[in-house]
Amino acid sequence: MKKILIADDEPHVLRVLKMSLEKEGYEVDTCPNGVEALARIERQAPDILITDIQMPLMTGEELCRHIEEYIPQRNFLIFVLTSRTEIEHREWSRKIQNLLFLEKPVSIRNLVEKLDDYFAGASASRRVV
């Protein structure tokens, strides 16, 4: 079973995503901030990380940079949920491989399709900047 880790400070988002993705057959783990997410990744790397940007203690951006720096050999995909559409707000991710942006509001169906595609190996190396 593919493992998905979700980091978001909105409990409602965590709840609905967990419920929906579990129904799709994924094993879902959730945490409310970047620090906890990092701890869990270090313990056991997920197959997918879904993270919000604005979170207390450690933002999604900081989380991604940490992962890039400390786990350079990582092979899991990162989805970043963002409220911003402008390119300059995604500038920081330019050097980070295997990272996709998902713009809010997020469609669960859309997300599930992307996950299915990814795991089917169709878009393993696709990267959106």
Which residues, including other chains, have CB under 8 Å from residue 34's CB and lie 6 or more apart?
Answer: 7, 51, 55, 57, 58, 59, 60, 62, 63, 66
CB of 94 to other proteins, least distance (A): 19
Of the pair 88, 125, the CB lying nearest other proteins is at 88
CB of 4 to other proteins, least distance (A): 15
54 within 8 A of 9, measured Cβ to Cβ: yes
CB of 6 to other proteins, least distance (A): 12
Give me the residues that bind other proteins (CB under 8 A), please: 9-13, 16-17, 19-20, 23, 32-33, 53-54, 56-57, 81, 83-84, 89, 104-109
Nearest to 64 by CA among 30, 93, 31, 87: 93
CB of 105 to other proteins, least distance (A): 4
Of the pair 75, 83, the CB lying nearest other proteins is at 83
Alpha-carbon dihedral angle through residues 72, 67, 121, 89, given to the nearest 10 degrees: -120
Of the pair 35, 96, the CB lying nearest other proteins is at 35
Of the pair 66, 89, the CB lying nearest other proteins is at 89
SS3 5: strand
